Amino acid sequence: MDKFRIEGGRPLEGRVTIGGAKNAALPAMAAALLTAKRVVLRNIPRVRDIITMRSLLDEMGADSSLKGEKQGNRLALQARKIPDPTAPYELVKQMRASVLVLGPLVARFGHARVSLPGGCAIGARPINLHLKGLERLGAKVSIEHGYVEARADRLKGDVFHFDTITVTGTENLMMAAALADGVTVLENAALEPEIEDLAALLNKMGADITGAGTPTIRIRGVSRLEGAEHNIIPDRIETGTFLAAAAITGGHLILDCVEPRHLTAVVAKLAEAGVETRAAAARNTGGPEALEAKMSSPGRAADVTTQEYPGFPTDMQAQYMALATQAHGSSVITETIFENRYLHALELARMGADITVDGRRAVVRGPTRLSGANVQASDLRASASLVLAALAADGESVIDRVYHIDRGYERIEDKLKRVGARIERISEV
Ligand code: EPU
């Protein structure tokens, strides 16, 4: 298992290029199952979860080819036939987003078999609403031997109201409804930019979707979908993580290839905490935008509550907590999306942070001097928060289980090294 060794205390200075959004790329890849034609996706991040999704599609019988940075990180997918529409436990347990194949498979092939994901480090994370929604569209759903079995001759459009806002649930049903008979209306849908990006891809494939990015999405089903080419949006969480890295090290970073409109809540909270963020000249004229971040004053405590988009993202909570350890005063963090997303707090405390967790609320008292320590990553964003803390700490830290960070950050150590961090990967075979 790989580890990171980090020598803290160096301000980060320079430019970092942000990759495509993992959480937009995963549903876009699943969408390729909706057509026999070729779907070409650009700006695919080279992260572990994308490799897992590709293995899943390959195993089911799809063809895929991935080209590197020079070709725009281009992934071509073609699912002519899917002999076995099964997402096996071995892959689903590695990545819950595998469940995104459920809607497309039932809609196009009339049958899907997807392992139930089971427990997760950050909360229970059931998929009951994905299943309820598919039933509403006429699928027969049963659970057998740990697998969801869903069958339907042809799905039929209907109105479905989500009791809880769910990102992948909205994506799954949007994809299923794209090939259903008639009109589907999804109410209380998730508003995340990744939903809009998926709808844009599906519409390029010939779907008829309006309202993505609002709480009510209307999908008029079509009988078949075609191939398409699509650029994945920039990763707003990777962007936020590097904004926090600039701030926590007292450095100054310019982030290229970002979409500042997707980071309004994060930028506003960082401003409250004393981090100055502003638009910068993009390196490639005409390309995506750039954002610049630096600490404008000593860090100030600021309370934060995670919310669905456009609120402050739960996927930035752990990184914000690391930053709050350096702020003057007490920051109250309230996690409303997942019930168990504070495992990083205990590890941060091992580095000297003063954090009290009580249920969904955490109080971080700062500033505290962080000192390097051996710590363990528990999930993707928790590991990002430990990297941030280690960058700000005195002395050396060793972060174990960095496979978690590889799931969603592309060679983060290389990007950090280029802007002055002392970080190395220790590979153990
Ligand atoms: N929920 C239900 N029933 C369902 C679905 C969800 O009760 O059928 C609950 C969940 O338990 C949770 C809440 O609804 O309490 C929101 O979960 P959601 O379904 O929105 O999460 P998700 O779709 O499984 C995506 C991201 C996560 C991100 C969340 C919240 C992808 C592939 N994953 O997960 O990303 O934290 O939305 O924004 O898009 C990450 O990248 O680190 C990550 C965990």
pLDDT digits (tens, 9 = 90+) for 113-129: 999 987 678 777 899 99
d(CA 200, CA 204): 6
**Closest Cα to residue 273, out of 392, 387, 390, 364?**
364
Q: Is 383 in the pocket of ligand 1 (CB under 6 A)?
A: no
**Closest Cα to residue 347, out of 306, 382, 303?**
382
pLDDT band at 287 (very low <50, low <70, confident <90, very high): low
Q: Which residues are known catalytic residues?
A: 120
For residue 286, pLDDT over 60 is answered with: no
The mean pLDDT of 293-316, rounded to a whole number, is 94
Quick one: which atom of ligand 1 is closest to the CA of 123?
A: 11
What is the 125 CA–ligand 1 centroid distance (Å)?
Answer: 7
Q: What is the mean pLDDT of the chain?
A: 96
**Closest Cα to residue 42, out of 15, 58, 17, 65?**
65
The mean pLDDT of 198-210, rounded to a whole number, is 98
Q: Which residue has the higher pLDDT, 270 or 120?
A: 270
Non-local (6+) Cβ contacts of 356 within 8 A are 362, 363
pLDDT at 321: 98
Ligand 1 mutation pick, 47, 101, 125, max ligand atoms within 8 A of CB: 125
User: Quick one: how far is CA 33 from the chain centroid?
Assistant: 21
- Strand 304-305 relative to strand 289-295, pairing: unpaired
Distances (CA, A) of 79 to 30, 34, 249, 422: 10, 8, 46, 43
pLDDT at 72: 85
The mean pLDDT of 22-31, rounded to a whole number, is 98
Question: What 3-state DSSP class applies to 20?
Answer: strand
The mean pLDDT of 67-78, rounded to a whole number, is 92
The mean pLDDT of 220-231, rounded to a whole number, is 98
Q: Is 186 in the pocket of ligand 1 (CB under 6 A)?
A: no
Ligand 1 mutation pick, 52, 92, 166, max ligand atoms within 8 A of CB: 166
pLDDT at 124: 77
pLDDT at 281: 86
Q: Is 129 in the pocket of ligand 1 (CB under 6 A)?
A: yes
d(CA 226, CA 207): 9
pLDDT at 285: 54
The mean pLDDT of 19-23, rounded to a whole number, is 97
β-pair partners for 210: 218
AA identity, residue 209: I
